[in-house]
Every structure is written in structure tokens, then in C-alpha cells.
Amino acid sequence: MPAEHILVMGGMTPDHASAAATSGCSIGVWSEEMVDALSRADEVVPVHLKIDTGMGRFGCQPEEAPKLARRINESSAVRLAGTWTHFASADSDAAMTRHQFDSFTQAIESLGVDPGLRHACNSAGARHFPEYALDAVRCGIALYGCQWSGNEPALTLRSVITHLKTVNKGDTVGYGATWRARERSRVATAAIGYADGVFRIRSNRGDVLIRGHRAPLIGTVSMDAITLDVTGIEGVQPGDVVTLIGRDGDQRITAEEVARWSGTISYEVLTSLGRRVELHYKD
């Protein structure tokens, strides 16, 4: 893939312009200062002009776009390769999304120059408003296989059981003794904790998969370990695989399900895995 097909969308300051220019990537811009800084580069830099239509994070106001587009067009060191905006609520607010799209297309029409590649849809936009695809879409969470029915998730998170014990009725497990056995129970410890991306709010919330069965997470999540009630699962032993996200037999736990147990969204679940988590890639 040519580097120009990679768009650097995040915010940067003019001090980053030199490094950005030499990357070969397309650079998102929305200020005269950044355009001028990139214009001092020794090579032509492809840029995508960001127009803020309601996200309120990055981008110039629609009425500022024509002036910036002309400034880019007049420079010999930057080239307007694209124009874009970002939907704020494409998964929940159709009226706002339509308003954003209309504002964006009107701004493009007012530029007075070729806008280059036009793009507005993120994952939610591409799913719910395919008619707004324009020249390209920017799928993020969808690439993980999340939030799209029929897509196979791209990530599985697993650990192993490192310890197994029997506790008596009334015994407690974990910091703060937040779980107490209602009967004689089998408790497994797995080698993963909040340092690895299992949020502490998961204490006594949700399940994992062991031997194709769901096992409740019990007790407080520790830095390096979680504890699981495996009383009803036959044959559990140290070394058994524990699936936190993914499929085991007929059972499956999704990132969205983990997010509900964690009081957050699947995006945060997937981007919060710790550096100690060993990665394996499959073709």
C-alpha cells in the first residue's frame, strides 16, 4: 500500500510538520498554521482538509473551509488530496447525522477547488448510512469484527488456569472478601488481571469460557489474576485454557458483552490490553 493511502487523522502541532512531511503519509489539516508549516517541507505533502460539522474535536468551521482550501491550492508544497468530516452519533441520532452530512456537502460545494477524496463515514456511518459513503469510508471498530452482524471477530483473548482449589461454604475469595461461597465450591485462578486489560470493575461480574462452558468471574480482579467459579464444570485442571473474548465450543463471549460487564464500550475493551499480553497473528 502506498504510504499516501494512510491518513494521519490525529491532532499534531506545527512542530510535528517536518516529521509528518517525511512520512509519506497523507496528513489531516484544519488550520492555517499547520498548512504553512507543511508548506515549508522539501517535498509535496498530500493533505486532507478536516471540516468540523458537529463532532467538535478537530476540524475547521465550514465557513473557514474555502479559505483554507485556497491556501492549500496556492501552495507548491502541499496538495489537497482529500476533504473529510466525522460523524458524532451515526449509531444513535439520524437527524444529527443527516445535518452533518448536509453541512459537509455544502461546505465542499463552496470550496471553489477540487476537494479530492471525500469521506465522512466511520463504522457506524457506513453501516447505518451507506448512501453517505461518498468516495471512501473510514471503518475502525468494524475491522475488529465488532458491531457488524455476520462478521467474525478478529480478536480472541485467552489465558490459562494456574491454580485450582476447593473452598468450603462461607469461605471468601479475593481482596476485600467480596465473594463468599454459598456452598462447597471449586475455584480456579487464571493468569490475567487489570494490568492486562481486565478492568477491575469486572469484579464479581460476567463470565469466561472454560472447556466450552461459562464460568462466573468471582472476587475482586487483581493486578495479575482473576478467580473463577468452576464448580459445575467437569474435569477442570491447571493449564486449561480460559477464554475471555472469543469462542470455546458452542459458547462465545463478545467484546460487546465484556464491555457491558465493564461499564464501557467495546472500543475501550479492545484497546486496553496490556503490553504483557502475548500477540499471535493468523492469516
Tell me the CATH number at 179. 2.40.37.10
- Looking at residue 282, what is its pLDDT? 82
The one-letter amino acid code at 169 reads K
pLDDT per residue as tens digits for the range 124-148: 999 999 999 999 999 988 888 876 6
The CA dihedral of 148, 151, 157, 163, to the nearest 10 degrees, is 100
Residues 133 and 7 in one domain: yes
Of the candidates 277, 228, 243, the residue with the CA atom closest to the CA atom of residue 158: 243
Residues 164 and 237 in one domain: yes
- Looking at residue 42, what is its pLDDT? 82
What is the pLDDT of the chain when averaged over all its residues?
94
Average pLDDT rounded to a whole number, residues 202-228: 98
132 Cα distance to chain centroid? 22
Residues 16 and 107 in one domain: yes
Domain boundary among 73, 104, 139: 139
- Looking at residue 3, what is its pLDDT? 66
- pLDDT classification of 154: cutoffs 50, 70, 90: confident
- Looking at residue 120, what is its pLDDT? 98
pTM: 0.85
CB 210 within 8 A of CB 226: no
C-alpha 74/C-alpha 36 separation (Å) is 11
Tell me the CATH number at 20. 3.20.20.10
Does pLDDT of 181 surpass 80?
yes
Q: What is the number of domains present in the chain?
A: 2
Does pLDDT of 1 surpass 70?
no
Residues 78 and 186 in one domain: no
pLDDT per residue as tens digits for the range 68-88: 999 999 999 999 999 999 999
Residues 93 and 173 in one domain: no
- Looking at residue 147, what is its pLDDT? 66
- Looking at residue 150, what is its pLDDT? 63
- Looking at residue 44, what is its pLDDT? 92
Residues 39 and 129 in one domain: yes
Work out the burial of residue 267: count CB atoms within 10 Å of its CB; fewer than 13 is exposed, 13-18 middle, 19 or more buried.
Answer: middle
Q: Which residue has the cell 475501550?
A: 268
Residues 162 and 263 in one domain: yes
Does pLDDT of 253 surpass 90?
yes
Domain span at residue 219? 157-271
Does pLDDT of 283 surpass 80?
no
